[in-house]
Amino acid sequence: MKEIKLTDSEKDLMEILWEKEKAFMKDILESYPEPKPATTTIATLLKRMQNKDLIGYKLYGNSREYFPKVAKGEYFKEEMTSMIDRFFNSSVTQFASFFTSNAKLTQKQLKELREIIDEQIKE
């Protein structure tokens, strides 16, 4: 799988498309909080993201209905893998150790984590 790199602006736009699943330009603009970005800014982002093959569109007359071509889970998995590679020398164990000691998890959350790990070990 190719590496997925999103700028903050692209990520904001993808969040909208992931939530809506498909949207026209006006729907995308309406989803942004005030102050809303310029239509030209969104159009530029959409074009750049099409070139990266992150989004696609379906044409209805002169209107384009955009949709994500990358699932949110796939993007998140790629981001996490990249972070673990960069900060923890690709060691999931180092990441888990750091996370559990620094995330201020409650006993309940730690037990839930252990249950998840135990379930994965069974599989």
pLDDT tens track for 10-24: 999 999 999 999 999
The ranges assigned to domains in the chain are 8-68
The reported pLDDT for the residue numbered 104 is 84
Global pTM value: 0.75
Whether the predicted pLDDT of 2 surpasses 80: no
Report cis status (omega within 30 of 0) of the bond before 68.
no
CB–CB of 88/94 below 8 Å?
A: yes
- CA–CA distance, 47 with 96 (Å, rounded to integer): 38
* CB-CB neighbours of 89 under 10 Å: 9
- CA–CA distance, 50 with 65 (Å, rounded to integer): 13
- The structural architecture, per CATH, of the domain 8-68 is Orthogonal Bundle (1.10)
* φ, ψ for residue 60, nearest 5 deg: -125, 95
Per-residue pLDDT tens over the stretch 106-116: 889 889 988 98
Per-residue pLDDT tens over the stretch 51-98: 989 999 999 999 999 999 999 998 888 888 888 898 899 888 888 888
> What is the number of helices (H) and of strands (E) in the chain?
6, 3
